[in-house]
Amino acid sequence: MVVLAIESTCDETGAAVACGFGEPKAVEILSDVKASSAEIHAKYGGVIPEIAAREQIAAIIPVIQMAIENAKLTIDNLEAIAVTQGPGLIGSLLIGVETAKALAFAWKKPLIAVNHVAAHVFANWIRPSTGSDTVAQLHSGTPELPAVALIVSGGHTDLMLLSSLTGWKWIGGTRDDAAGEAFDKAARAMGFPYPGGPMIAKAANGAKLELPAEMKLPRPMIYEDNLEMSFSGLKTAMVQQIANGRWHMDNDEDKSMLAHEFNQAIVEVLVKKTMMAVERYRPKCVLLAGGVAANALLREGLMKAVIEAGKVFFMPDLKYCTDNAAMIAACALLRPDYVDPLKLQPNPGLEIS
Ligand code: KG4
Ligand code: ZN
């Protein structure tokens, strides 16, 4: 099946064309186009929903046109239209959903509703591009189930057990801030623009020194025998250290060392809790997903731990970690949820399933 997928949950407008092949299905991306208003939001230190939605109205039709053109296909070749139903910002979701409904109705194509968070996980079924970092060398197939998935994005930090493509169970996650949210809040406290995760990861790269024990940040809940996490206290501890004058944010070396320590603290907790889930549930594979999956320390750290535990590790190509329409297409191809084009409504609080 050839599907056109539309994604508009936050500050990005995406459209992708993809097809599925083989059994279990692998997903081939024929085109993937993205317009982002992130540069505008950077000035405000976060996404302004009204601005995001206005930019999306202007971008959505050209982005869809370009996705079909780049795939070298015509409207006749499309067999279904997929769109993100939620979770996300209501104004942004409405633009994607209403556009998809209108196109499905006018072009007489079936409409598929997609859960954005589940779609992040389905990015692991996309065939890696040749020449991509370590992803292509990890494996040549698609994930075998059962699998444990670590989903780390701006709004989510969850551990899920996937027994089948449709049988998902929440087994752990954060009690408060999501990992991406913690990165973004910490970055703001350090004076970095939004989105903060990539800025902290980049600044951390320059740091060489290990910190003395008294300067270390906490690794919240790391030794607790459960799959729960908490990241809000970690950010508070960091803000306190800055307020106490231990770190000077006008000094690049201080900034780099603090970024390194913060990055390390989050990644250590994520790796430890995922490996605890692996011990408990003994899956065949471990899947990494979500915007924070673009973090190099997390990619390397989790890959090493999973391989040492004798399991198969999957992570998406970097370009399919942060929000994109290719993953929406992947979810639609693997787990199609057909809906009535006249009835679909966006759901900003949609739970993962
Ligand atoms: O999945 P995503 O694109 O959007 C949501 O669905 O939330 O995730 C965005 C989050 C942001 O919080 C961003 O700071 C974080 O992913 N992020 C990173 C990195 N790249 C993006 N966090 C840490 N390291 C990165 N390299
Ligand atoms: Zn996302």
pLDDT in tens, the chain (353 residues): 999 999 999 989 999 999 998 877 899 999 999 998 888 878 777 889 988 899 999 999 999 999 999 999 999 999 999 999 999 999 999 999 999 999 999 999 999 999 999 999 999 999 887 665 556 566 678 999 999 999 999 999 999 999 999 999 999 999 999 999 999 999 999 999 888 999 999 999 877 677 888 889 999 999 999 999 999 999 999 999 999 998 999 999 999 999 999 999 999 999 999 999 999 999 999 999 999 999 999 999 999 999 999 999 999 999 999 999 999 999 999 999 999 999 999 999 999 98
Please identify, by atom number, the ligand 1 atom nearest to the C-alpha of residue 294.
26
* 322 within ligand 1 shell (Cβ under 6 A): yes
Degrees to nearest 5, angle at CA 315 with 314 and 321: 155
Task: Say whether the peptide bond before residue 341 is cis (omega within 30 degrees of 0).
Answer: no
What pLDDT, on a 0 to 100 scale, did the predictor assign at position 130? Answer: 65
Ligand 1 midpoint to CA 137 (Å): 24
Which tokens belong to 154? 């701006």
Ligand 1 midpoint to CA 16 (Å): 20
Q: Could you say which ligand is closest to the alpha carbon of residue 289? A: 1
What pLDDT, on a 0 to 100 scale, did the predictor assign at position 216? Answer: 92
What pLDDT, on a 0 to 100 scale, did the predictor assign at position 43? Answer: 78
Ligand 1 midpoint to CA 294 (Å): 7
- Residue to probe by mutation, ligand 1, list 153, 181, 262, 352, most atoms within 8 Å of CB: 153
* 157 within ligand 1 shell (Cβ under 6 A): no
What pLDDT, on a 0 to 100 scale, did the predictor assign at position 134? Answer: 59
Q: Could you say which ligand is closest to the alpha carbon of residue 292? A: 1
What pLDDT, on a 0 to 100 scale, did the predictor assign at position 213? Answer: 85
What pLDDT, on a 0 to 100 scale, did the predictor assign at position 282? Answer: 98
* 323 within ligand 1 shell (Cβ under 6 A): yes
Q: Could you say which ligand is closest to the alpha carbon of residue 156? A: 1
Please identify, by atom number, the ligand 1 atom nearest to the C-alpha of residue 12.
3
What pLDDT, on a 0 to 100 scale, did the predictor assign at position 300? Answer: 95
Q: Are strands 2-7 and 80-86 parallel, antiparallel or unpaired?
A: parallel
The per-residue b/e assignment along 239-272, b for 16 or more CB within 10 angstroms, e otherwise, is eebbeeeebeeeeeebbbbbbbbbbbbbbebbbb
Ligand 1 midpoint to CA 273 (Å): 19
Please identify, by atom number, the ligand 1 atom nearest to the C-alpha of residue 298.
24
| Radius of gyration of the chain, Cα coordinates, nearest whole angstrom | 20
* 46 within ligand 1 shell (Cβ under 6 A): no
What pLDDT, on a 0 to 100 scale, did the predictor assign at position 23? Answer: 78
User: In 3D, which of 263, 10, 264, 291 has the Cα closest to residue 150?
Assistant: 291
State the residue for tokens 């910190």: 211
Put the strands of the sheet holding 228-229 in their side by side order. Answer: 228-229, 168-174, 157-162, 147-152, 285-289, 312-314
- Residue to probe by mutation, ligand 1, list 8, 183, 288, most atoms within 8 Å of CB: 183
What pLDDT, on a 0 to 100 scale, did the predictor assign at position 302? Answer: 97
Q: For the full predicted model, state whether its pTM sits above 0.85.
A: yes
Residues 6+ apart with CB under 8 A from 204: 256, 259, 260, 262, 263, 264, 297
Residues 6+ apart with CB under 8 A from 23: none
* 294 within ligand 1 shell (Cβ under 6 A): yes
